[in-house]
């Protein structure tokens, strides 16, 4: 089975603001055509 993947990475944008601003992606999630995940990442090392 072929799956299309679109990865959206928003650096520095609050999760709630991103959810509100991207209603079309929320519609896909609501229709079961997409999934929404929250990631917590570490700051990069200063080098």
pLDDT category of residue 32 using cuts at 50, 70 and 90: very high
pTM score of the predicted model = 0.59
**Ordered DSSP codes for 1-47:** ----------TT--HHHHHHH-HHHHHHHHTTS--------PPPP--
CB 15 within 8 A of CB 38: yes
Whether residue 30 is predicted with pLDDT greater than 90 in this model: the reply is: yes
Q: In this structure, are residues 26 and 19 in contact, taking their beta carbons and an 8 Å threshold?
A: yes
pLDDT of 27 reads: 92
Domain boundaries, the chain: 1-47
Task: Judge whether residue 5 has pLDDT over 90.
Answer: no
The CA-atom distances, in angstroms, between 23 and each of 16, 19, 29 are 11, 7, 10
């Amino acid at each position: 089975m072929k799956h299309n993947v679109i990865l959206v990475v928003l650096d520095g944008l609050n999760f709630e603001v991103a959810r509100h601003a991207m209603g079309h992606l929320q519609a896909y999630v609501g229709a079961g055509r997409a999934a929404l995940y929250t990631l917590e990442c570490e700051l990069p090392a200063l080098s």
